[in-house]
Structure 1
Amino acid sequence: MAFHPFDVSVPFVLLLALVVRLLSLPLLRRAQGAFRARSSAMVAGTGAGTAGPLPGAVVAELAACAVFGALLVALLTEIPGIGLGLRMPAAFADLSGLQREMHLRNGAAQLELWLVAAPALALWLLLGHLARRRLLTVGMPAAVAEDGRLRRGGLVRFWLLAVLGVAVLPVGVVLAGVAFQAVALVSARRLPALTGPAAVIVFPPRPEPVPAAAPTAPATAPTAPATAPTAPATAPASATPVPPPAPPGPAAVRVPHQPLHGHEPRGIGGYRLLGRIGAGGMGTVYLAQREGAATQVALKTINLDLLDDPDLLRRFRREAEVLAMVPGAYTARVLDTGVDAGRPFLAMELLDGRPLDAHLRELGPLRAPEALRALALALAVALSGVHRLGLVHRDLKPANVMLTSAGPRLLDFGIAALVDGTRLTATGAGPGTLTYMAPEQFGDEPVGTAADVWAWACCVVCAAHGSSPFAATSTGGVIRRIVDTGPEPSALAAVRALDPALAAVVTRALTPDPSDRPTDGAALLALLTDAPQEDVRAEITRGWSTLRR
């Protein structure tokens, strides 16, 4: 049996490429993370888009691949008769050397070359497509994979690689590309979920005035047994145009939503899904309606690819029961919980508006002192109800504060906190978001309700200043500010310029020693005001009417 150079050269090239790719794996993962962040930011409207410059990590990865390809071409060219230095079509290849080495007749050398090259090219293109698809789907907002610009970019990339593989690149480089793409596919499956502002792409509604008749809708009354603040609503006894402090029922809220994709369910747990409000790397929020009922809800559920984690499901079910007890005063009410075919869900009150971080990006910091104080009071009221149950939110930040037409709402006790590892927990466990974390969260000390008070102060400062008082250019810089140098003076000055009395409470809430801060939401509220509960709600309503939308 004749000896074929392909018998040795194919495994040699594959092994060489695999070793090089594994050695450069950190570069690959950085490039993949940068590509995901850029794609998500582009879809969310916060990035430069396809016309913007490529991230440095992506450029470095492309340059490294080009250098390796050039070196491999030089190596294959120097090895006589290896065959893999030839390009695929006969018109571009001198096959005489291959014929002599393999003792093949006319035409047989070309056939032998294609038997290696054609499957290699097909596999290279397939693995590249799957790796790119994984990058845009696993742990990413659903809207990213459906974006038309990214799809067109993927098609252009596919055909460019096909042309290069057929007409330009030697067979050995294509084989090396197979090894590179196989590693990239495995790496894409293991990337962590995207976090930060680009991690959840929600299509926010345009703020609309709430109809005066909405608070009287009788259909919402049976769904609000735990909303004490809504009971003394003044709308029935007052003709003032200011909306009541508690938001209208879900049936009165109109929230923009996207059509369901073909692979998405049409119903979960007895709820008919009407559309998709938004999606994150780990969960999706649907506009839903209970079968036989008129009330619409926001139904949150975990993505299907996370259902294999029994601990995640167990914690979700346990915490869903606890969340149903959280008071409805300036929080989103949990109306129903359950599991459908192994998939847990939460049916929550449907809210209009947008998160505080989105408001700050689009309109800048709050400029009305009354609106800033209303935000601070509402969050303090919400924390007092949460802390009364012996719970710590652990992830209070602008992304978890919804600015609705009826007032601020503290959100993300459920899916977003759970899947990011910052779930609502009993005192003494769980991480948070770095720039809103209290000093005790970096050590071994027990973490209690005072950590939420610290995060409350950070959110108030962020609302007035535009960013956290502990924001810095690096992780180390953030931690140094939190545990050592203290908050940015200009950030505190922004609060002081709007409301000196509120700034004094914020400063105390940012005391490094937890024992020197207000102990919980109730103590915080007592520092802010000594007015009766009804007067506090009225002040929040008046102040909120000054918010620029």
Structure 2
Amino acid sequence: MGTVYLARREGAATQVALKTINPELLDDGDLLRRFQREAEALSMVSGAYTARVLDSGIDAGRPYLAMELLDGRPLDVHLREQGPIRTPAALRAMALALAVALSGVHRLGLVHRDLKPANIMLTSAGPRLLDFGIADLVDGTRLTRTGAGPGTLTYMAPEQFGEDRAGPAADVWAWACCVVCAAHGASPFAATAPGAVIRRIVDGAPEPAALAAVHSLDPELAAAVARALTADPAARPVDGAALVELLTSHGNPHHEPTRVDALREEITRGWRTLAL
């Protein structure tokens, strides 16, 4: 729907990523509202593992979103060029960072609804969660048109194929799919046809070999992934904060909460083991 430019503000040296809607789409009210929603959502979300919005608005009738310029590349590109992540510490660092990012999103009453490898940027400073273009207020009005399915098929939760609104638990499901993809190279629900994907998600089970790829690297992380892929959303961690709690409890329900600085140090230390 848009183009991203390398840009800088006149008179300033700082470079930014400038996202705009393509001119031929400017008469599409739904897309304009989606772009505006992305700007509003991103400006609200802050944290070490999300992309920062620096400015947004409309110039000469064309909406724009200026974001911090990130190095690195998306997870899907990394997987195509270098293959799956095979370092346990790096995989856990990515899983933890994304869970922390989701906790910040969900704390604001937002649902990302399109968490997938293309929206995970692998930067030198750690993973970054991108693109809240179809994020939705949990208690607000659904922004996507009726029949315009949100999300990307192989990362969508079972409830997204029904009539119920997708809540934070759908992001938790997508988180698990992304962790599996990072270790295995593909979603645990990948199939040759859309219908087969939907059947596998709604009525089947994740690919055993895909889950085994995570288990071989980090059995504890694999257990959290399996919990997050429970078909009943009520049986998953309810949101990003609960997911962080699950990942840091190490099976001890009475553990002391992990300090934020200690959590960031673990993520940083693990991320350094990944060759980007």
Counterpart in 1 of 2:129? Answer: 410
Matches within 5 A, 1:391-402: 391-402=110-121
Which of 357, 375, 385 aligns to 2:104? It is: 385
1:425 and 2:132 correspond? no
Structure 1 residues 377, 339: CA separation in 2 closer, same or farther (over 3 Å shift)? Answer: same
| Structure 1 CA distance for aligned equivalents of residues 122 and 28 of structure 2 | 33
| Structure 2 CA distance for aligned equivalents of residues 525 and 402 of structure 1 | 20
| Structure 2 CA distance for aligned equivalents of residues 511 and 335 of structure 1 | 37
RMSD: 1.2
- Listed as ranges, the gaps of 5+ residues in structure 1 are 1-281, 418-422
* Aligned residue pairs, count: 260
Counterpart in 2 of 1:337? Answer: 56
Matches within 5 A, 1:56-455: 282-413=1-132, 417=133, 423-427=134-138, 429=142, 430=144, 431-455=150-174
| Structure 2 CA distance for aligned equivalents of residues 327 and 338 of structure 1 | 19
Counterpart in 2 of 1:216? Answer: none
1:490 and 2:209 correspond? yes
| Structure 1 CA distance for aligned equivalents of residues 114 and 194 of structure 2 | 17
Contact 2:38 2:131 in 1 (8 A): no
Per the alignment, in what secondary structure is the counterpart of residue 7 of structure 2?
A: strand
Structure 1 residue identity aligned to 2:272: S
Per the alignment, in what secondary structure is the counterpart of residue 531 of structure 1?
A: coil
Identity of matched residues, % = 77
Greater helix percent: which structure? 1
Per the alignment, in what secondary structure is the counterpart of residue 299 of structure 1?
A: strand
Structure 1 residue identity aligned to 2:67: M
Counterpart in 1 of 2:225? Answer: 506
Structure 2 residue identity aligned to 1:539: E
Greater strand percent: which structure? 2
Structure 2 residue identity aligned to 1:345: Y
TM-score by length of 1: 0.46
Contact 2:41 2:135 in 1 (8 A): no
| Structure 2 CA distance for aligned equivalents of residues 360 and 302 of structure 1 | 28
Which of 260, 264, 270 aligns to 1:543? It is: 270
Q: CA deviation at 1:315?
A: 4.0
Counterpart in 1 of 2:199? Answer: 480
Q: CA deviation at 1:523?
A: 0.3
| Structure 1 CA distance for aligned equivalents of residues 2 and 30 of structure 2 | 16
Q: CA deviation at 1:317?
A: 2.6
| Structure 1 CA distance for aligned equivalents of residues 199 and 13 of structure 2 | 52
| Structure 2 CA distance for aligned equivalents of residues 488 and 307 of structure 1 | 41
Query: Which structure has the bigger radius of gyration?
Result: 1
Question: Deviations along 1:362-413, whole A, 9 cap, x unmatched?
Answer: 1110010000000000000000000000000000000100000110000112
Question: Of the two structures, which has the highest relative contact order with CA contacts closer than 8 Å and spacing of 6 or more?
Answer: 2
Counterpart in 1 of 2:252? Answer: none
* Greater CA drift, 517-526 or 294-303: 294-303
| Structure 2 CA distance for aligned equivalents of residues 407 and 319 of structure 1 | 22
